[in-house]
Structure 1
Amino acid sequence: MSKRFALIAATRNEGPFLLEWVAYHRLIGFTDIHVFSDDDTDGNRALLSALADAGAITYHVNTGTGGHRNRAYDQAFQLAEVQAADYVMALDTDEFLNIHAGDGTVKALLSATREPDAISLTWRLFGHSGHTDYADTPVTGRFVLAAPEAVPVCMQQFAVKTLFRPKLATSIGPHRPSVSPDLTERAVRWVNGAGKSISAPLLAGGWKLTAATAGYDLAQINHYIIRSSAIFALQNLSDPALGSEPSPFSVADFFGLNHNHVRDTSILRHSDGLTSEIARLRAAPDVAQAHVDTVAKTQRLLADLLNRQGTDTDTPLAQVMDADAARKLVRIQQSTSDASAPVTAPTAPEGSVVAESDDLAPSWLADLRRSTHRRGWYDSHDNFAAQFTYRTRDTLVVSFDNLSSVKDPSLARETWGYPFYAKEGWSHMGIMAFEKNWYRDEALFDFMERKLAFFTQFKHIVMTGTSMGAYAATAFADLAPGCTVLAYSPQATLDTNRVPWEERFGIGRKRDWSGRYAFAPDHCRAAKDVFVIYDPYFAPDKQHALLYQGKNVHHLKSWYTSHKSALFMRRADILKDLMREAMAGTLTQARFYEMYRQRRELPWYINGLADHLIGRGHRQLALQMADHLGKTERMGLAQSIRTRASSSHC
């Protein structure tokens, strides 16, 4: 009896890319493809229905509450066809299983690895290859420049996707199945893309490997995470964001994920077969027309995005459409004999500089080497580093990394907010943390205290950070008397004696919270203004915020943002304005709330308000919200709120 290989995808508004993705994975041997569609703004459901009628896939409308991927995987795991399959895999539709073994099929991969219980294959992140526009051409042929295999360039680089026997799993996750905690390394054979055992680390949990354990010899996952600047912007930077990410990517994420270092055309071994399979599927009733329709809708959505954001270089769209390569690469030098001509980026804005991709250089280093702003330094220590770029004596930003940056191994790592501060022409000192130690480091204390005289050079100083970085911004504020502090969701301390209610940040709570700078509110008395931004409905952050007291402390409430106040401000497009006002000395509580009113149209805010009402028993008010949204043609939001309100009533 032939083996069955099931593939599961949770998709959201990726219609133009579905035909190629389905054709490719049928070509390499997946026998049962289940696609769960969460939204139909781009007309993808007509194409999925046509493909289902043609017998190419099984199509599911993805309903319910919670994250669309988890919903899809939970439903898929209950399907008899999935449970009966020999192997199962979950992929997003921007991910292609690229098999190097044998004839490049699933069967060849299983033969080469001797049919293990699970194979976790590492991402190969593909950048935009210089393409800022969208074109209706196969992704696999258009994007051929990727991150290097063994050189770490970003945190997500070594994430995995897993092909596994369904009997191994208790549930399906985005990167790997959940398994019984009773399983032992001896009982399970779990291998990487080179066929080598990784049972021990993955049975212990986690969704990433390392440069040493990744293994690309037999297979990899081609992850086309950008798919051109235009598509990245439409799926992540439009309002509402149309893509599949639970938290849409930002402009900073674009720069962090857009890797074009090495040419990789290995997947093109299937190009002839793929062309034939696409043609065969297009010949099925309604498939070709449905594909044309979803392409046309996507082009209209892009045109609308361009019209709404215009050509202002400050907009997120403009930053990824025009300044992307100017920040990260000028040329891609090909190492293979059949290399194409170098990709040339747009001209860099005046006052900035372009780093070559081969350098893996952060823009602050490129500025120090090649721009007109060559005065500065980089001071590296065991657990932290400090980077300074001089531009003017009028202004200085002192920023502190947050927790998410700590383990970023990339040589291109930026200090927090650097591109924006550089564009504004401000001097900037950024502190990079290399450990999750909440900046509890005697060497850092000494370093900061040695900067007392340094700070006196500047007329206006703003110290800023979020979460762990916000603790540091407030803890070191007295070292720059008269400064302004902009602290997003800060922790006042993680001393368990002072904050016994704090149950988050276990690593931070284990640090030594005695001695210097142990309680941040005691160390921002000399600041001119301390702006503490937090969600008053998120109890832990509120309790920390209220520990900051004094005439110079201003509590700014960011409702429904949870612990992501800075991210919310960025999504609401007011983060930069807040920083400008803080630097100018014009930020006040009244001005903050005036800017914050822009939040009202943001889906994040609307959903937060609805959940707040539902959680407090005000179901009818939530339904009235949904009715209003329906009248203003925000049908997706309206239906989502109605569903949640109805569920709460059951």
Structure 2
Amino acid sequence: MTKPESGISKLKSQAVVSDIFGTVDFPLKPNRSPHGRVTAVSMMKDEGPFVLEWIAHHLAIGFTDLVVFTNDCSDGTDDMLIRLEELGLAHHRRNVIPDGIRPQPSALKHAQLDPLVGASDWVLVFDADEFLCIRHGDGSLDGMISAAQDAGANGIVITWRIYGSGGVHDWSRAPVTEQYVHAAPPMWNKGWGVKTLFKFDPDYWKLGIHRPKIKNKHLKTDFPDSVVWLNGSGLPMEDYFKFRGWRSIVRTVGYDWAQMNHYAVKSIDSYAIRKFRGNVNLKKDKYNADYWALQDRNEVVDESALRHAGRRRDIFDTLLTDPVLHKLHFAALERAEARLAEFKGTEAYADLVAGLKEASKVPITKIDAKPPKPRDPARIAALMSEVEKKRNTKPKSERRHSAHPDWGKASDLYVRGPIDLDTDTPVEVFENRKLKIPADPRVFTPATIQLIMEGKFERNAARRIPKLLNPGATYLEVGAGIGFLPAVIAREQPGVTVIAQEEVPALAQTAARIWDVNGLSQGPALTLTTTPLIQPDDAPDAASGLKALLEDHKCSVLVVNDPRMTPAMLEASLKAVPDTPPKAIILGARALGDQLNADDATLVLTTQGYGVLKENPLAAALLFLHRSAVPEQDRTR
């Protein structure tokens, strides 16, 4: 569909800035983009200490226009933005708030009618405590928008990353994006609010804080068909999101291209300043301990924003060369610090700190971030436009994507990529097979955490495998992960010698902690080894690690759970122990499906004298028994 040119569209080539814009000569000039006006719309109240960093960061990534609405400022935030407007680097607007309207919706109504916003080609609405972080390409908006357009898209739905305090208590003048680098796990779905960068025409779209809304008069036209949005990884969004929704779901979340870093709490002192000054939405009880527990997530380190630090710092330093901005910036800092000093010795401050510290101990599994009202499918259906209802007649397979791979299936026990355990974070513990297991999001996928909370972690294997072992047997597990199955066997079969091999440092560290918490001590009967399973590529024998384990321990049962295992490694290692082969070999779900598949494994093990039972007792694993240990009538081949 070709859209008719609206009156606002004609203004795109005309001057729509204020009379004071760019009236003061300054070394920094506004960005220009091949995509026209790429505009950020935001709202601020008493953000003085952070204004220049926010402006510098978003100039650094390529916005051509920064439009900021302010209300009731007492720390010079509005004066700083007015000066930035005079320098030609931002646009200040007064948020005149009608009675009964909250500041944020009021600002959006003003923005909808603003000539500059209306003349913008691309628009992103977001808050003063949010910083857009671009992972795509060279980290520029222009590059990301070009990629979206090359994919035939006209919008990108960008998901939050919730950043916590990182344990910082004291106030600091250090940049927010450099000081706070601890965040919620990317697959934590309670932190999946979104912000939408999209091709804007005010005749078709009504601005919203999370995503715009198609105006009713265009719903029954072919305009919705022209809306093509991508997620934060550059993949197509599901069709329903054109009409409703404000957060990602497991099928649409993505961070490969961009994320919206949300620094809602910062340090305890910074939070105290904000609590005692109010907020943009006038929610009286917003900045309480519950809000802190929700937003103070520090489970993983994410330094993505640091890629923009150099350019942001250069712009920030240049801004401070303007004597007016310099004076206003440091006055705002001194004012905040003076206010902090006033109430820092009060009982209210002490109570706040105590409450926040307790809130920081709430594990991520205890956080409740449900919408204010329960989801009502009937009400949602009633509010659906006829266009969306028609689209919903399509089969689900045509409307829905598969889940994001990092969400994890039952066989994907552990998160992908590096695991950082250096940060001390509160973790809830659950009993599984009478063993205490931490539901640690730094280690486990969300799907696995759900199993741990339900007491179902590796339940089938924990029930079945110990029954295969008799006193005097030796159990060896390669790729033992957190050492759960070895711990179960050590508890339930004390006459069995157990060796757990895990070379991923964080997993081995977690295994040692779990054993210790559950009163299991390492010794002759229970060993955790980090011996590398795979030697370097240039080593004479790439499978010598597994060979050595088999030769040293002469195990009765070998469990393979390392996803790097290959048929060749398995074959070469078994050939090294022809006189003492394991009586049973179990290929776990983690090992199957990557380098090793069931057919290849069966072929290799058959040549080494193994067969499968007619009835496999393991749900997600394959059990092979050496022919010498299987009665003739039970063999399948």
TM (normalized to structure 2)? 0.50
TM (normalized to structure 1)? 0.49
Q: Which has the larger radius of gyration?
A: 2
